């Protein structure tokens, strides 16, 4: 696609990262219910197989490794995470930002740092559980992953938490509704959603 000045678009780009099981998907789902259409989330492409209940085009675009390679040139950022490829299709994000909508990217820290380079005015938020034990408990309770997958995600969690030092905003997802409120307030204070998307 043609060169885009991402910082000149009226909508704000928000990155939400956190270890697997930290609650990113749950938080964003609740946030979108709460704040309405001025905030939307981007749908990533991935080579990871769908989990039970996940829907193509709603949760992710589930693609083959070959399709992912063909898509590469159209991605705003991409990364290899827990052995699968993930990436953000650029054009839908550009169109939404051009309409003044705040777009949330639920992506890993490698992608977050690529966004920081490309879109310097993006807001980078990192979410953590109150402790590593709570993270492990929630990942197991989710019941979507086998033991090897859980072990891999817990190992990667340590590295992600170290990289998170470079994120400007840190949230602790202890009580869900409290954290959703904090996320909504953070966005509102940073010119995202809450009716001020056109400021």
Ligand X SMILES: Nc1nc2c(ncn2[C@@H]2O[C@H](COP(=O)(O)OP(=O)(O)O)[C@@H](O)[C@H]2O)c(=O)[nH]1
Ligand Y SMILES: Nc1ncnc2c1ncn2[C@@H]1O[C@H](COP(=O)(O)OP(=O)(O)O)[C@@H](O)[C@H]1O
Q: Which does 176 bind (CB under 5 to 8 A by kind): ligand Y, ligand X, none?
A: ligand Y
Is 140 a binder of ligand Y (CB under 6 A)?
A: no
The verdict on 149 binding ligand Y (CB under 6 A) reads no
Residue from 48, 82, 116, 138 binding ligand Y (CB under 6 A): 138
Residue nearest to ligand X (CB): 111
Min separation Cβ 109 and ligand X, Å: 8
Question: Binds 23, which of ligand X, ligand Y, none (CB < 5 to 8 A, cut-off by type)?
Answer: ligand Y
- What is the spatial distance between Cα 88 and Cα 96, in angstroms, rounded to a whole number? 13
> CA-CA distance, 185 to 192, in Å (whole number)?
9
CA distance 109 to 15: 9
Residue 9 or 28: the one with the smaller Cβ distance to ligand Y is: 28
81 binding partner (options ligand X, ligand Y, none; Cβ < 5 to 8 Å by kind):
ligand X
**C-beta of 36 vs 83, nearer to ligand X:** 83
Q: Choose the one of ligand Y, ligand X, none that binds residue 125, judging by a C-beta under 5 to 8 angstroms depending on kind.
A: none
- Provide the token pair at 72: 């590469």
Binding region for ligand X (CB under 6 A) = 20-21, 24-25, 44, 48, 77-79, 81-82, 86-88, 106-108, 110-111, 153
Tell me the C-alpha distance between 8 and 183, whole Å: 24
According to DSSP, the β-strands at 102-106 and 39-41 are: parallel
The annotation places the binding site for ATP at 18-25
The annotation places the binding site at 18-25
């Amino acid at each position: 696609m043609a060169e885009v000045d991402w910082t000149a678009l009226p909508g704000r780009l928000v990155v939400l990262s956190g270890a697997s099981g930290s609650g990113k998907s749950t938080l964003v789902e609740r946030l979108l219910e709460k704040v309405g259409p001025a905030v939307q989330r981007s749908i990533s492409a991935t080579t990871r197989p769908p989990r039970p209940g996940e829907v193509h085009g709603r949760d992710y675009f589930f693609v083959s490794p070959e399709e992912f390679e063909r898509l590469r040139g159209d991605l705003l950022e991409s990364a290899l995470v827990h052995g699968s490829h993930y990436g953000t299709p650029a054009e839908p994000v550009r169109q939404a930002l051009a309409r003044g909508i705040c777009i949330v990217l639920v992506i890993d820290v490698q992608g977050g740092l690529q966004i920081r380079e490309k879109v310097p005015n993006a807001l980078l938020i990192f979410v953590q559980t109150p402790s590593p034990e709570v993270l492990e408990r929630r990942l197991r309770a989710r019941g979507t992953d086998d033991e090897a997958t859980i072990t891999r995600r817990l190992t990667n969690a340590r590295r992600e938490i170290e990289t998170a030092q470079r994120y400007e905003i840190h949230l602790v997802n202890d009580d869900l509704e409290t954290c959703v409120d904090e996320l909504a307030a953070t966005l509102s204070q940073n010119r995202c959603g809450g009716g001020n998307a056109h400021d």
